[in-house]
Structure 1
Amino acid sequence: MKARRVTSTLRHATTAVSGHAARPVCSNAPPASIRWLTAAATPTTLAPRLTQHQHQHPSPQTNARRHLHGQAARRSGAPSNPAIKFPCLDALETRSATLEQQASTRSDKSGPEPSYTVGATQIYRCQEPLLLDHGGQLHEFDIAYETWGHMNADRSNVILLHTGLSASSHAHSTPENPQPGWWEKFIGPGLALDTNKYFVICTNVIGGCYGSTGPSSIDPLDGQRYATRFPILTIQDMVRAQFRLLDHLGVATLHASVGSSMGGMQSLAAGVEFPSRVGRIVSISACARSHPYSIAMRYVQRRAILNDPNWNRGFYYGRVPPHVGMKLAREIATITYRSGPEWEQRFGRRRADASKPPALCPDFLVETYLDHAGEKFCLTYDPNSLIYVSKAMDLFDLGRANQLATAARRALYTSSQPTPDSSSATGGGGGTCSLTLPEKPYEEQPQPDTPTLSSETLPHQGTPAPPADLVAGLSALSNHPVLVMGVASDILFPAWQQREVAEALRQAGNGRVEHHELSEVQSLFGHDTFLLDVEGVGGAVRGFLG
């Protein structure tokens, strides 16, 4: 039996040496015995060499000959498989070529390519300088805004509606812009923001790109676009700019400050910054301090843009914008806006076309959905605005310690403001980022005072007790009626953050806090619930405002 196996091995080895017909027998690499045997010069020398040298390793010269022989054999025919096609990358390259051609025929001062403007707005130009929390300054700035309803005689029925990260002031259709707004079904007669009762104002935040001053705007001191010479912003900076608009309109006190997502942050900040000028507060799917998960997700989105070669450190105006990084950033963000259970129902594991072979471009339905979301967004919002506004969200913290530190910085910067003809376009000693990477890599730090998730901390579904620093920071709202809403399926601003806000307000002495949480049974839409649930979200807002 053993002799027959040896004879069979020799026969196969002889075939492998004498011609290429036997090569397909081995899908990857031949067995060790055959690899050794193929180095023999002729079949007649095979048996003696097998007997004499079967326990010896081949020499380097022999290995080199085998390698060259294998290379020659591989080069002699067609590749094992055809190259995979990438139509998704082809589309990105085509768009880059088109944008490059358009940029070559366009002046830098004619506006960013493409235009980020979405429709007609009202513009308030403030010519009084705005000092920012981290030391920068805007010597003048524009606020784009839109209004609905009618202001009463004593201007006491005004609601300030704050936007999310990438929204414009177009929350509802207007005669000047009849396109549906981002909160179209929530604003109007008898709706959540009842225009029979209230005069609703919505602005595009500073740092944005839909009419308000942002990185794509012209610096009045040198006539060039700010780009990344634009100063670092905070949510509180955005709110102060909005209250400049209210001053211009003669609005001393708001009936309510209303917002969702980043708008919910602004709504709380408005009450803390201007407690005597805000009546009611509505904060939906937001927080009083950004937590590490949401910071991490926004960081990755920014890196997608910064790593796009077309970003050019922010100076891409008049050139090809970083649309590839922008598309990826939006796809990452979209993952955080919805919930896994909803996607299971909506997409499952279905592919776009199961009759075709799998592809490395968008293939599953959920992949095509993300691709579409990125496509819609990548040329309709300024990448620099996304960088600056998302960073402002990361910096958000209404804790007392942060408020005191900010007040100290502002006092220092106020006392050292340069003159308008200073060489600094933004003014202030802190407008330039001086942060350097740490010399040592990250090491885990012990945090003995960090609360842990435990059902013993609070009766509210295992939510940790709010830190005393946050309770102290929200004490300015102890007399304000506040509606705090959350959604159990939200992963970007998880429901425990809204519980934290409500509990911190209660511990600060506020006895007029309403907290509503939509369960996963009520909504599977995750963070985007505030845009979609007219009854659950809109009904609660309508009832709270009265």
Structure 2
Amino acid sequence: MSLPCRIVAGVRGAIPRPSPTRISRFGATITTREPSNQVSRHIHHQTRRQAQSAVQAQPQPEPAVPESTNPALSFPCLDAVESRSASLSRRSLSGPEPSYTSGKHLDFHSKQPLLLDWGGILAEFNIAYETWGTLNQDKSNAILLHTGLSASSHAHSTETNTKPGWWEKFIGPGKPLDTDKYHVICTNVVGGCYGSTGPSSIDPANGQRYATRFPILTMEDMVRAQFRLLDNLGIQKLYASVGSSMGGMQSLAAGTLFSDRVGRIVSISGCARSHPYSIAMRHTQRQVLMMDPNWARGFYYDGIPPHGGMKLAREIATVTYRSGPEWEQRFGRRRADPSRPPALCPDFLIETYLDHAGEKWCLEYDPNSLLYVSKAMDLFDLGQEHRTRITKVRQENSGKLQAFMDGKTLAESANADLCNLTLPEQPYEEKEQAVDEATASEAARDLLGATEPPADLVAGLKPLANTPALVMGVASDILFPAWQQREIATTLKRAGNRNVTHIELGEEMSLFGHDTFLLDLENVGGAVKRFLG
């Protein structure tokens, strides 16, 4: 109102005489008139109250907070992750980042659909591959080289891609895979991201990336796709199927699926069925990746890839790839910079090594490919019971494949929900099981490879009864422990195979753990060369 404003301005003489005030109360109208001195006191008190309220409304300075006894720690490792996200955010505006590639390679494109073990269908698919050496006239000298989880087809340098390959020292004239004798073929697996069809590929049905619409895979699915390539190349029978780690699993799968088309098998640091420890480690890697907000349930291709989750997944994997003895010699308890105070970010040399391994790799491999390919490893089991179940599932889905070829959509075909997972209503709880001492002792001996292999596994490897096999393991390997290769060798022998060569490298021969197959040219390479002849 104007009246208090005039008082605040100090123009007292300009105060008008108050007019009668009409107050409505309980339906009656009462007219009142305040004496002029009362009006003056009323205005004075009202103004003082407003002034006090104005003072109270002004922001008061907060009381000073005493400084902490210690300063806050810095986190350069997190700063680096945030900086990378910001950089990728800017780059993603011009298209999907990054581009997963391994350089120039050959391509085989199959327009015939591929029915997968768990009911998925690839309407068509691509296989990236590279070759070394010359295929002879009757095409009998071909070796199919299977890769590890994240490797590309680039096992050795070529004229069109001179970058050293992941098995560079093992392939070439006079080398373990002697290109003067053999025609070596290496593929990127289906589900990968180095040229073969995988989650980052375009779905021909809708022109969009598959992402997590890509179907669940198995090792056998990957092998069937590889043999489509061999059919296209006119190779009826392989001289040998060779692989390490996941490739060692695939090599065995190739022999069981196509026993009449594989002349020899080499399985290095692999297994005939995945075991709980390796499944648990791969599960952990998938979980840290899927918990990265940038993963976006697999649909991240036009935005920021989940590089943080990938970095952590790779660090976990690296822990399983090498061994304690090697790290003891290589790093010990040394810190990167002993002159500085300890930090929560990488501080010990082993921590900086893991950090570097994750940082270097987090944008080199498609995160969704890691999920799908690692899950395929978990599902691997050459036991007869599992093979029988999968064969039945494939038979049930044969009509689904035919319906697809007849032009029907997936939703219109039978068993369209086969790949959907429903979690149990009650969470898993450990149940006590009565185990007698004899059973416990038997289980302990089994871990040491001292007992007979399971009859189920012996039955599952029967197709390999007449296939010469080299099985190699490394004592320092914690991801695929040496007892798992002993299990393969013993099982093959019990299945009737009289030509099994089993070699186990003790820690005195190799401290490199699971990665020994990549590094030990003398022991691993020498054994392969002798076996192939």
Secondary structure, aligned partner of 1:416: helix
Counterpart check, 1:372 vs 2:359: no
- In structure 1, what residue type is equivalent to 2:260? S
Pick one of 140, 145, 165 that aligns with 1:156. Answer: 140
For the pair 1:97 / 2:86, whether they are aligned, the reply is yes
User: Partner of 2:410 in structure 1?
Assistant: 424
8 Å contact kept, 1:453–1:463: no
Instruction: Report the AA paired with residue 476 of structure 1.
Output: P
Determine if the alignment matches structure 1 residue 484 to structure 2 residue 471.
yes
Q: Which residue of the partner structure matches residue 389 of structure 2? A: 405
Tell me the amino acid that sits aligned with residue 509 of structure 2: Q
Report if the CA contact (8 A) 1:161-1:202 is conserved.
yes
The equivalent position to 2:506 in structure 1, one of 519, 526, 534, is: 519
Aligned to 2:59: none
Task: Give the residue type in structure 2 aligned to 1:294.
Answer: S
Q: Partner of 2:373 in structure 1?
A: 389
Aligned match of 1:219: 203
Matched-pair contact (CA < 8 Å) for 1:286–1:497: yes
Displacement of 1:435: 3.0
Structure-2 change in CA distance of 1:289 and 1:244 (3 Å): same
**1:84 to partner: Cα distance:** 0.4
**Whole-Å separation in 1 of the counterparts to 2:411 and 2:178:** 43
Measure how far apart 1:76 and its partner are: 4.1
Q: CA deviation at 1:452?
A: 5.0
Query: How many angstroms apart in 1 are the aligned matches of 2:439 and 2:367?
Result: 36
Superposed CA deviations along residues 361-412 of structure 1, whole A, max 9, x for unmatched, are 1100000000010011100000000000000000000000011000000000
Hey, what's the Cα distance between the residues in 1 that align with 2:424 and 2:444? 39
* Post-superposition offset of 1:436: 1.3
Deviation at 1:446, TM superposition (A): 3.1
Once residues 397 and 76 of structure 1 are traced to their aligned partners in structure 2, the CA distance between those partners, rounded to angstroms, is 62
Match of 2:34 in 1: none
2:23 aligns to what?
A: none
Shift of residue 100, structure 1, vs aligned partner:
0.7
Shift, 1:437, TM fit: 3.7
Q: CA deviation at 1:332?
A: 0.1
Letter in 2 for 1:433: N
Asked whether 1:247 is paired with 2:231, we answer yes
Separation in structure 1 between the aligned mates of residue 441 and residue 162 of structure 2, nearest angstrom: 48
Q: Is the 8 A contact 1:255 1:278 kept in 2?
A: yes
2:152 & 2:511 partners in 1: Cα distance? 26
Taking a change above 3 Å as real, the CA distance of residues 453 and 326 of structure 1, as seen in their structure-2 partners, is farther
| Range 73-82 or range 340-349, more displaced | 73-82
Residue range with higher mean Cα deviation, 419-428 or 506-515: 419-428
Is 1:324 the counterpart of 2:321? The answer is no
State whether residues 449 and 486 of structure 2, in contact with CA within 8 Å, keep that contact through their aligned partners in structure 1: no
Check 1:175–1:452 CA distance in 2 against 1; reply closer, same or farther (3 A cut). Answer: farther
SS in structure 1 opposite 2:145?
strand
Q: Secondary structure at the match of 2:126?
A: strand
Secondary structure class of the residue paired with 1:517: strand
Out of 514, 519, 523, the position equivalent to 1:536 is: 523
User: What count of residue pairs does the alignment treat as equivalent?
Assistant: 469
Could you tell me how far 1:113 is from its partner in structure 2?
Answer: 1.0
Q: Is the 8 A contact 1:163 1:263 kept in 2?
A: yes
Query: In 1, are the aligned partners of 2:410 and 2:416 still within 8 Å (CA)?
Result: no
Q: 1:425 to 1:96 in 2, by over 3 A?
A: farther
Question: Relative to 1, partners in 2 of residues 1:317 and 1:422: Cα closer, same or farther, differing over 3 Å?
Answer: farther
Q: 2:494 aligns with which of 501, 507, 511?
A: 507
Deviates more, 1:442-451 or 1:331-340: 442-451
Q: 1:377 to 1:447 in 2, by over 3 A?
A: farther
Report the 3-state secondary structure (helix = DSSP H, G, I; strand = E; otherwise coil) of the residue aligned with 2:426.
coil
SS in 2 for 1:330: helix
SS in 2 for 1:501: helix
Write the mapping of 1:274-313 to structure 2, written as runs, cut at 5 A. Answer: 274-313=258-297
> Within 2, Cα distance between the matches of 1:142 and 1:455?
44
Question: 2:426 maps to which residue?
Answer: 439
- Alpha-carbon shift at residue 143 of structure 1 (Å): 0.1
The structural deviation recorded for 1:456 is: 9.8
TM-score (structure 1 length as normaliser) = 0.83
Residue type at the aligned position of 2:458: V
The one-letter code matched in structure 2 to 1:446 is Q
User: TM-score, length-normalised on structure 2?
Assistant: 0.85
Q: Quick one: which of 462, 465, 483 aligns to 2:452?
A: 465
| Aligned counterparts of 2:412 and 2:244: Cα–Cα separation in 1 | 30
RMSD of Structure 2 on Structure 1 (CA): 2.1
The offset of 1:353, in angstroms, is: 0.2
Contact 1:451 1:464 in 2 (8 A): no
Between the aligned partners of 2:268 and 2:487, the Cα distance in structure 1 is 13
User: How far, CA to CA, are the matches of 1:187 and 1:397 in structure 2?
Assistant: 30
C-alpha distance 448-78 of structure 1, shift in aligned 2 (>3 A): closer
Q: Among residues 260, 263, 270, which one is paired with 2:247 in the alignment?
A: 263
Which secondary structure does the structure 2 equivalent of 1:119 belong to? coil
* CA spacing shift, 1:344–1:152, aligned 2, 3 Å: same
8 Å Cα contact 1:471-1:504 kept in structure 2: yes
Structure 2 distance, partners of 1:268, 1:177, is 30
SS at match of 2:202: coil
From the superposition, tell whether residues 496 and 361 of structure 1 become closer, same or farther in structure 2 (CA, over 3 Å): same
Aligned residue type for 2:392: A
Residue in structure 1 matched with residue 12 of structure 2 by the alignment: none
SS at match of 1:201: strand
Cα displacement (A) at 1:472: 0.4
- Offset of 1:443 from its aligned partner? 1.9
Pick aligned residue for 2:109 from 120, 125, 136: 125
SS of the equivalent of 1:142 reads: strand
Residues 388-397 or 446-455, more deviating: 446-455
CA distance in 2, matches of 1:342, 1:231: 39
Alignment partners' CA distance in 1, 2:434 and 2:517: 35
Amino acid at match of 2:454: P
Distance 1:277 1:347 in 2: 46
Q: Which amino acid aligns with 1:487?
A: V
Counterpart CA distance in 2 for 1:245 and 1:218 is 20
Q: Determine the C-alpha separation between the residues in 2 that align with 1:93 and 1:336.
A: 27
Contact 2:472 2:502 in 1 (8 A): yes
Task: Determine which of 56, 65, 69 is the counterpart of 1:80.
Answer: 69
- Is residue 346 of structure 2 the alignment partner of residue 362 of structure 1? yes
Amino acid at match of 1:349: R
Matched, 1:347 2:331: yes
Residue 344 of structure 1, CA deviation: 0.4
**Structure 2 CA distance, aligned partners of 1:76 and 1:93?**
29
- Aligned residue for 2:515, secondary structure, equals helix
Deviations 1:290-337 (A, max 9, x none): 000000000000001110000000000110000000000000000000
**Unpaired segments of 5 or more residues in structure 2?**
1-61
Matches within 5 A, 1:133-144: 133-144=117-128
Q: For residues 535 and 406 of structure 1, what CA distance do their matches in structure 2 show? A: 40
Q: Per the alignment, in what secondary structure is the counterpart of residue 215 of structure 1?
A: coil
How much does 1:115 deviate? Answer: 0.5
Displacement of 1:440 in angstroms is 3.6
